[in-house]
Amino acid sequence: MKEEQAATGSQKRYEIAEEVLRSNISAGTLPPGLVLLEGPIADILQTSRAPVQRALQTLEADGLVHRFAGRGFLVGPPGGDIEPIRTDIKALGLVVPRHADEALQSRSSWERIYNTVEADVAGCVVFGRYRIVEMELANHFNVSRTVVRDVLTRLRERGLVRKNQSSHWIAGPLTAQTVKDHFVLRTMLEPPAIRLGAPAVNRARLEALLKRLRVAEDSAAGGLGDSEAIQTEFIECCVLAAPNERLRDLVRNNLLPVTATDRLLRRLGLPGDPAIITELRLVAELLLRGATESAVSMMATHLEASLNRTIAQMKIVAIIPGPGVTAAYLTPVLD
């Protein structure tokens, strides 16, 4: 009863996800060596990837899972030379207690439509400015205005929408100047964060990241498919090791629209550049060798190259015809 009250009371989603995974590992439902991926777990729990990612990080700290050269986590403690088992977790019968399932669903109504709304919005902002009417969005998905506001608030955090002077929700336009502004902030924040956090970087995690980068570099097609996850792990391991919490928050918040821009370009069919993986691998290698200032300099070089790549791809997008069909709740705003 106590556990049930906790799950339906003050527990956060990542805590509930952690308990579900921990109990299934202890029971043997998730065997040693099983590859755990955020996406399939999030689908089972009907939540977003963020709480699953944090749950896995907590389990890693407790030695119940560990990172390896491939994508995801392996069940079991590190150092055991466990052979990866790539089985669909949905076929293993993950046990989700009723109280945990109810607690997750009561907290995640907005998540059921978020990915669709994000895709709809991201797919049009590069082509101009659009207005989102709360009531139309609510009717489109048959959800409450409260759920709609939760979705729009999170889109605003990611830099995809904003409120204008009339308190209307506006998406776009995504411009080259917007991207440049965020990269200026990245250059101001991330290299110094690497310098500040270098002594605190988890060496085992850094070694695992470096292995993952090398595997991705050797297999460009497979590596680029996992590029976003690798870049996220690089930021978490190498940049957010800085002990300054305010600095970490600034880095995270500034990265949200940058990640959304990159995701948009991928959705439009523009390929990623293998050089990204090579540049990050060099930063990780330098950090592992203790060459902090060289790592800081390489990070600055990487950011400059990333900005140039992004701007070049946006120029390509500029000549692509606008979307023929947009979601009904997205209304073009004529300048």
Domain regions of the chain by residue span? 2-107, 111-174, 176-318
Strands laid side by side in the 73-75 sheet: 35-36, 73-75, 65-67
**Residue from 210, 220, 329 nearest 280 by CA:** 210
Q: CB-based contacts of 79: which residues, under 8 Å, 6+ apart?
A: none
Please state, in angstroms and rounded to a whole number, the distance separating the CA atoms of residues 65 and 17: 14
CATH topology of domain 176-318: Four Helix Bundle (Hemerythrin (Met), subunit A) (1.20.120)
- Give the pLDDT score at 324: 57
Residue with tokens 């069919």: 269
Amino acid present at 77: P
Do 111-174 and 2-107 have the same topology in CATH?
A: yes
Please state, in angstroms and rounded to a whole number, the distance separating the CA atoms of residues 233 and 210: 11
Neighbouring-strand partners of residue 74: 35, 66
CATH architecture of residue range(s) 2-107: Orthogonal Bundle (1.10)
Please state, in angstroms and rounded to a whole number, the distance separating the CA atoms of residues 148 and 140: 10
- In this structure, whether the domain defined by 111-174 belongs to CATH 3.10.20.740 is answered with no
Parallel/antiparallel/unpaired status of strands 330-332 and 73-75: unpaired
The tens-digit pLDDT sequence of the chain (335 residues) is 334 333 334 467 788 889 999 999 998 899 999 999 988 888 888 777 778 888 998 999 888 999 887 778 999 988 777 788 888 887 888 888 877 766 666 555 677 788 788 878 877 777 788 999 898 998 888 878 888 988 998 888 877 899 998 889 998 887 889 889 999 999 999 999 999 999 999 999 999 999 999 988 887 544 455 788 889 899 999 999 999 989 998 998 888 778 878 877 887 778 888 899 999 999 999 999 999 999 999 999 999 999 999 999 888 876 766 655 578 889 888 76
- Give the pLDDT score at 222: 43
- Give the pLDDT score at 87: 86
Please state, in angstroms and rounded to a whole number, the distance separating the CA atoms of residues 121 and 137: 12
The crossing angle, in degrees rounded to 10, of helices 203-218 and 275-288 is 150
- Give the pLDDT score at 6: 38
Neighbouring-strand partners of residue 163: 169
Please state, in angstroms and rounded to a whole number, the distance separating the CA atoms of residues 18 and 16: 5
